[in-house]
Amino acid sequence: MPAVDDTVRSRAPATAGMALAALLAGATFIALSPIWVRLSETGPTAAAFWRVALASPALWLLRPGTHGATSPLSLHWKLLLAAGIAFAGDLAVWHTSIKLTSVANSTLLANLASIFVTLAMWLLWKQRPRGLFLAGLVTALAGVGMLVETSATLSPIALAGDALGVVTAMFYAWYLLAVKELRDRGAATVELMAITSTITAVLLLPVALGSGERMLPLTTLGWMTLIGLALVSHAAGQGLITYALAHLPAAFSSVSLLFQPVMAAAFAWVLLGEALTPMQIAGGGVVLVGIYLSRRGSD
């Protein structure tokens, strides 16, 4: 998730209750995204394209004024392009993963991104994490093994979907690192979301067209599904979390990270009939504990 916009911090502080409600609502909206993808009448890459293409106009409208500051669009186009490429890979791979494996597995594995971010900062920038991170990493890997074992008993297709979930986490980690660098250089969060979403849409369109996937929904309901994915999950979900984290301690970011995959699994169970096996529940719990420990160890 992009860092919190400093321009938001200057506004009148919201109550902790309102901020926490916004955080949980945002996480819930994002948790709906794999449901929209599974129900979409288009291919996975096409759904990824529409997700950002339909959300981009709303994000540009929500973009705050730069107050005379130079836009990062003109100053840091290489980083913006890197962020757009990473986000395009993230969405295309994750949407494909959602189509192949369970929503719970795909979402949990994609949330390993925070671990890959810390690993990258350790290996590339020599920012050594605390021992608690390593404990979290080992715990998360144990949970991943349990999830993969469950998929292996189902089908090779589900196993491939799990693998793509891990690749998704790598792409998203790349995106987060690029966004962090841009934020450190003064870019505003909503502006970054608008620009990177637009770049991502431009990159995904030829990929979706070249893949031979169905590009257009067949029904009005199909279009409403894509609009929900774009405006509810992508724009509103990220916007609410960005607002909430401007008024809450940093530790609350862990709440959204852990709450989102739990809600995604619950939605998949209720709306798609994807009941979790005991091994999935146990493995998912272990992964969540590992992610929480790793985040605490990298603070």
Alpha helices in 102-188 (DSSP H): 103-110, 113-125, 131-154, 156-184
Mean pLDDT of 271-279: 92
Question: How confident is residue 250, by pLDDT bands cut at 50, 70 and 90?
Answer: low
Residues of the chain with pLDDT > 70, as a percent, come to 87
Domain assignment present for residue 256? The answer is yes
Domain assignment present for residue 188? The answer is yes
Q: How many C-beta atoms surround the C-beta of residue 181 within 10 A?
A: 14
Residue 285 has pLDDT above 70, yes or no: yes
d(CA 198, CA 49): 10
Angle among Cα 225, 227, 233 to the nearest 5 degrees reads 90
What is the number of structural domains in the chain?
1
Dihedral of alpha carbons 233, 180, 65, 6, sign: positive
Domain assignment present for residue 42? The answer is yes
2-6, 37-41, 136-140, 194-198: least confidently modelled range: 2-6
Domain assignment present for residue 63? The answer is yes
Domain assignment present for residue 84? The answer is yes
Domain assignment present for residue 62? The answer is yes
- For residues 106, 171, 261, 222, the Cα torsion angle rounded to the nearest 10 degrees is -70
Question: How confident is residue 13, by pLDDT bands cut at 50, 70 and 90?
Answer: very low
23-27, 43-47, 245-249, 282-286: least confidently modelled range: 245-249
Mean pLDDT of 221-231: 97
d(CA 82, CA 55): 20
Question: How confident is residue 9, by pLDDT bands cut at 50, 70 and 90?
Answer: very low
d(CA 224, CA 221): 5
Q: Going by C-beta distance under 8 Å and a sequence separation of 6 or more, which residues neighbour residue 65?
A: none
- Average pLDDT of the chain is 86
pLDDT, residue 167, reads 97
Question: Tokens 């504990």, residue?
Answer: 289
Residue-range definition of the domain harbouring residue 115: 6-298
pLDDT, residue 246, reads 66
d(CA 226, CA 217): 9
Domain assignment present for residue 1? The answer is no
Domain assignment present for residue 55? The answer is yes
pLDDT, residue 5, reads 43
Residue-wise pLDDT for 117-148, tens only, equals 888 888 888 888 888 898 999 999 999 999 98
pLDDT, residue 164, reads 97
Residue-wise pLDDT for 88-99, tens only, equals 999 999 999 999
